[in-house]
Amino acid sequence: MRLTAKGLHAALALIDRVDKVGGVRDMVALAVQVDGWVDHAHAIPLRSGEVHAEPGFPLGVHAATGQALWLLDGARLLVAPGGLDTGAGATAGATAGTDVDATIYDLADAPIPREVIADQLRRGLLAAYVANLDLTDKSGPALQVAVGELLALAGDVEARSRGVLIERLSEAIAAGPADHWAPLVLRIRTGFERALSDRHPPTVEAAVRALVRMAAVGPFPPGEPRAGARILTTLFNFPKSELHAATLAAIGDLDDAALQAMAPTVRPLADAALGSQDPEVRRLASDVELRLRGEGRPGVGEGMLGRSIEEKARQLRALGVDTERLIVLLPRVLEALRDPEESVRRAALEAADPVLSGRVGEPLLRRRVIEVLVESGDPHLLAAGIAAIDHPERPLAEEVALEALRSALDGPVHMRAGVAERLAARYALLPVDRAVDGFESLLRHRDVTVREATLHALAALGAGQVRLRDLLTHAFMEQLRDPQPQARVAAGRAMLAMGFPNAPSIVVQSVVDADARVREGLVEALRSYGDPARLQEAERLARDVDVVCRGTAAVEGDERLRWTAALGDIVERRGPRTVALLLAVLGTIPPEAVDPFLQFAVAEIDRHLIQLASADAGGESVLAMCRRLLEGPTPQPVHAARLAGERVTEDPQAFDFLWTMGTAGLPGHAAAARKALARLTQGTKAPAVMRAIATAYWASGDTAQRDVLRGWYGAVPPLPRG
């Protein structure tokens, strides 16, 4: 190794650029400089027992392929099957020797991914650097200087390099006499702990392994016999589940003697980790607990439940009797609650019952069981979880219960209404500001059964919740426009029950609905409310709407007269739902109807829609009505184009709508738009429409379109200003 710490830092910077960017210039620079970084002094063993003709610098083994990599003089890379058994860059677990059919490439042309070359070269350089420090042979001031240089470098380099340095330093500490390292432990521990904040997971894991090894076998600072316990406790005090998982994995890798020596410290930490929110932490804690019980190496818990469905179910039921073992294997039971086999899930629920009922285990473990149950798609498990939430003798903390019930809202569809009722009952007991947020979230739920159940629960609160009612006004108005009819009815009932100001008038206006179920439901709500005048008004309005909605198929003269009169009455008493009703009725009439009455009905509805748009300056425009006709599962392009055509000679926006529809729309839309645009060939056009035609002319590159536009304009339009 020829590099000083400063030179190594520069070399690592170039390697990092190759790793992240991999440009040709960086690869060439790497090939030019690499011979100056290393000593090609290591013999390369062959499977035959001989050595390769040239010495090299070991870069370890390519993990994905098992190929041994050696750097040769002249920026060349020797690649061969097999691996290494010695050398500064050796990879743990590699097989000895390289094959005789090794291939040599120029470094820049080697068939190895650039990121692999960069990583192996990084590891090789750092391993050689640490080896050159001779840490195991130094002591006193010399060791202090060497460790200070290494820690300073670790603080300056990129995270991946820092991880390698931490690994090598930890190995050197384990190999050297403890009394040499004891005076430096605090400084080294600080360096390891700083790496815990890195964003590179392998580096964090390397730091955790180093700290766990230090906690287990030392060395410890003089006069601090409990330093190891403090190190482990500190690792679990970090509020990061990935650190806890890495710590438990490192503890699980300790040999039996080291683990048992630390049992008084490890056991309470593992017990607490069994209740972690992270399933991986729980699983690793279970493995550590099993190791402490003398039941095997890490991962043994994977085999604690049988392979077959029957064996799994049998062993799960047995855990319900052996409660001490149940706590240790609870993470496996929680996983079994998610098993695809129903019999396994039932057995897991039976096994978890001692924890669920609160007979054994800490409250946090019961909470974890409930969380898994309420997130289940199995109705039986979900019912058990909900029952546990509402247990009168062992209630959950309010926030925990609310969170669990919110998770259950996405469970089986037929159970959502019941969950919503329970949530609403709990929200009603909260301070009003918090209750509003909860109720609004329920009213925004995608499932109409949840929204309907919430509205029923609000109605049950009655007229006493004045502030809650007022804060939910906007949410209620949205529910009156809900796409689902049952939600609209429930909203009207709840507004009456809660005593909203002007609620009877609002409900009467909402009777103007194309869905007969809504009309009937709201009239019945007013009948129960007990306002005879409003009820009479709603009944009359409902009859008129019923006539208009059903009368488009009428053929008798009297029925047609009644339809016309009913439509006039509805429009005369216009409300926020009037336009929606007329558009809905219009959508029921075939676009190309030839029946004289249907043609008359279409003309009447068009006339009333245009009047409503003109009479109400703050209301819905004709163009907005046209766009609504194009929305939904059954677009009505003919009706939309015809309605826009009524305004095309006067309104430039109507022209733009139809022109876009005719030139960029679907074929059916385009044909309807062209028919409506034909009105421009006759009559006087408003100046604003003429300007819109000129703008479209100069924006179009299609000769045929320009000919049509020129005909409507009467000449070649002038170029628009600006």
Q: What are 469-506's pLDDT values in tens digits?
A: 999 999 999 999 999 999 999 999 999 999 999 999 99
Kindly report the CA angle at 279 between 273 and 281, in degrees rounded to 5? 35
Sheet holding 57-62, edge to edge: 57-62, 67-72, 76-80, 103-106
> 48-57, 250-259, 311-320: which has the highest mean pLDDT?
250-259
Helical spans, DSSP H, in 176-225 = 178-181, 185-194, 201-217
Distance separating alpha carbons of residues 164 and 15, to the nearest angstrom:
14
Token duo for residue 454: 């919430």
Tell me the CA distances in angstroms from 461 to 427, 438, 492, 496, one per residue in order. 11, 15, 15, 12
Tokens standing for 462?
């009655």
Q: For 47-105, how does the pLDDT look when each residue is reduced to its tens digit (9 = 90+)?
A: 677 788 889 888 888 888 888 888 888 888 888 776 444 343 433 333 334 445 678 88
What is the C-alpha to C-alpha distance for residues 303 and 283, in angstroms, rounded to an integer? 12
Q: Is the pTM of this model over 0.85?
A: no
Q: Cβ distance 57 to 39 under 8 Å?
A: yes
Q: What DSSP designation does 110 have?
A: -
* 62: β partners: 67
Report the candidate in 286, 202, 302 with the shortest Cα–Cα distance to residue 246: 202
Judge whether residue 695 has pLDDT over 90.
yes
Q: What is the pLDDT of residue 383?
A: 92
Q: Smallest Cα–Cα separation from 280: which of 201, 340, 376?
A: 201
DSSP state of 42: B
Distance CA 80, CA 101 (A): 7
The residue type at 129: Y
Q: Are 654 and 623 in contact (CB under 8 A)?
A: yes
Q: Rounded distance, CA 552 to CA 596, Å?
A: 11
Mean residue pLDDT across the chain: 87
Distances (CA, A) of 398 to 159, 365, 429, 437: 43, 17, 10, 15
Residue 352's identity, in one-letter code, is A
Q: What are the angstrom distances between the C-alpha of 243 and each of 150, 170, 247, 481?
A: 24, 18, 6, 49
Mean pLDDT of 211-221: 87
Residue 58 is given by DSSP the state: E
Q: Which of 93, 62, 92, 64 is nearest to 80 (CA)?
A: 62
The alpha carbon of residue 715 and the mean position of all alpha carbons in its chain are separated, in whole angstroms, by: 58
Planar angle of CA 227, 231, 237, nearest 5 degrees = 140
Please give the share of the chain, as a percent, with pLDDT higher than 70: 93
**Distance between CA atoms of 287 and 295, rounded to whole angstroms?**
9
Task: State the amino acid at position 371 in one-letter form.
Answer: E
For residue 554, is pLDDT > 80? no
